[in-house]
Chains A and B, each alone.
Chain A
Amino acid sequence: MAANKASRLGEEIWKTRIDKVNAELVVLTYGTIVSQLCKDFDSDYVEVNKQLDKMGYNIGLRLIEDYLAKSNTVRRCSNFKETAEMIAKVGFKIFLNITPTIANWTNDGKQFSLILDENPFADFVELPDDGRAQDELWYSNILCGVLRGALEMVQMQVEAHFISDVLRGNDTTEMRITLIRYIDDELPPEDD
């Protein structure tokens, strides 16, 4: 799907088919999740990142149904570039009301960046001034897990991680997404 068509689709769905809530309810709830994790794991930020990714993965597994239903997607994206367009302009739009910029493709077309010019999760946030958080914590890491989980459900194994974050003092918030492989439509694995 062409970029501008995806863009229009995202806008259209957001306007007409999405039940909405106050953004701050969502943002503040996310904040309590992250601060609770930091507390439970005694500011072991590497572990907090993992936990956030895991939570995101669980969300992604369920969210994809919702996404497919809302976007009326009936066919697979024809390539990974199209997938990127749909993630940025439809997925992010309908769940977070933002449209990240797609950038920095590798030549093989398997790796790109999402640059979050706006990141609602980061509203109100200042990382702890403990000399470590800005080097170790990826505050919005749940988003990586969401992408990983959601794409896995549509036969794509991806790897996603943040490479910069304005909360760390970087000039951009950038997530890197890599296609590992397409999961073949193989027979469902036998239960064991």
Chain B
Amino acid sequence: MSQPRPPNGPSAAGNPSAIPPKEPSSSHTTGLRYPSNGKTIYHRHLSRSKTAELSQASFAYLFSEMVTYAQRRVTGIQDLEKRLNIQGHPLGLKLLDLLLIREPPRSQSRPLNIITLLHFIKINLWQHLFGRQADRLEKSSDPDAPDEYMIIDNEPLVNAYVSVPKEMSQLNCAAFVAGIIEGVCDGAVFPARVTAHSVGSKEEGEMWPGKTVFLVKFQPEVLEREALIGGKG
């Protein structure tokens, strides 16, 4: 009698190089339970909620709770903005992949230079998050700051609903969005510091009182690489 073996089991017979297969999943035991219909995040089409909408008010409520909560755990405005920035950062990292994979295959390419990356942020990221492009993209005119770029939003959504208390009038909740932008830059290997600055004046007649500049300051190695590859791609 030959040795019984499982019907779909591998056999080493006739193949001297074969070895019993390792079951890699066995080293990754998981305790997660799934519904009996087997539906998980992996069964959901990635574009399913691409165009789905929720109420703007829901976003405003959640966002201001997030800010209020963060406020209790910080020492000052700078600290608070930093915290909001940190909370936005992982979203940028993830949205970078999500937005790219949703592009039609022929335009699915990684940004290779600063301008392509910033356009991706101004167009794709803004369109996705806020339903429109950012208003402007500018390079710093300061010759001493060739590493600085500005993304300008005349009316950031995150500031539209959040009423900042008087004693915190310097706070710009768009720091959260700055964090998202920073996440996109870091993820795409264009490490940068991104900060949000209110530039709209509060004076009567000002068309964009909430106007915000997102200042993107790239790390030196980004400019060095840019010089090397000559802005190709």
Binding site for B on A (CB under 8 A): 18-30, 32-33, 35-36, 40, 51, 55, 58-59, 62-63, 66, 94-97, 120, 123-127, 129-131, 134, 142, 166, 168-171
**Among B16-24, B33-41, B133-141, B214-222, which stretch is in contact with chain A?**
B33-41
With a cutoff of 8 Å between Cβ atoms, the chain A residues found around residue B30 in the complex are 129
Instruction: Using known A-B contacts A120-B49, A169-B32, determine if residue A20 contacts B61 with beta carbons closer than 8 Å.
Output: no
**A19-B56, A33-B66, A97-B54 given; 16 more Cβ-contact pairs under 8 Å:** A18-B56, A21-B130, A22-B129, A23-B53, A23-B54, A26-B62, A27-B49, A28-B94, A33-B69, A36-B66, A59-B61, A62-B61, A97-B52, A134-B33, A169-B32, A171-B36
Judge whether B111 is part of the interface by a CB distance below 8 angstroms. no
Instruction: Using known A-B contacts A94-B55, A97-B55, A126-B40, determine if residue A32 contacts B61 with beta carbons closer than 8 Å.
Output: no
**Among B7-15, B84-92, B114-122, B199-207, which stretch is in contact with chain A?**
B84-92
Interface of chain A, helix or strand or loop or mixed? helix
With a cutoff of 8 Å between Cβ atoms, the chain A residues found around residue B90 in the complex are 32, 35
Judge whether B59 is part of the interface by a CB distance below 8 angstroms. yes
| Least Cβ–Cβ distance between A53 and chain B, in angstroms | 12
A–B complex contacts, Cβ < 8 Å, 21 sampled: A19-B55, A21-B59, A22-B54, A22-B130, A23-B53, A23-B54, A32-B88, A33-B62, A33-B69, A55-B65, A62-B61, A96-B58, A97-B52, A97-B53, A120-B52, A123-B41, A123-B49, A166-B35, A168-B33, A169-B33, A169-B34
A-B pair count, CB < 8 Å, reads 125
Chain B residue at minimal CB-CB distance from A25: B129
- In the complex, A147 Cα to B123 Cα: how many Å? 37
Judge whether B73 is part of the interface by a CB distance below 8 angstroms. yes
Q: What is the size, in residues, of chain B's interface with A at 8 Å between Cβ atoms?
A: 43
Chain A residue at minimal CB-CB distance from B28: A129
| Least Cβ–Cβ distance between B97 and chain A, in angstroms | 12
Q: Which are the 9 A-B pairs with shortest beta-carbon distances?
A: A169-B33, A23-B52, A20-B53, A19-B56, A59-B61, A55-B65, A23-B54, A26-B54, A26-B59
* Contact between chains at B41 and A125 (CB < 8 Å): yes
Instruction: Using known A-B contacts A22-B128, A95-B58, determine if residue A124 contacts B33 with beta carbons closer than 8 Å.
Output: no
- In the complex, A24 Cα to B129 Cα: how many Å? 8
| Least Cβ–Cβ distance between B73 and chain A, in angstroms | 7
* Contact between chains at A129 and B49 (CB < 8 Å): no
| Least Cβ–Cβ distance between A173 and chain B, in angstroms | 10
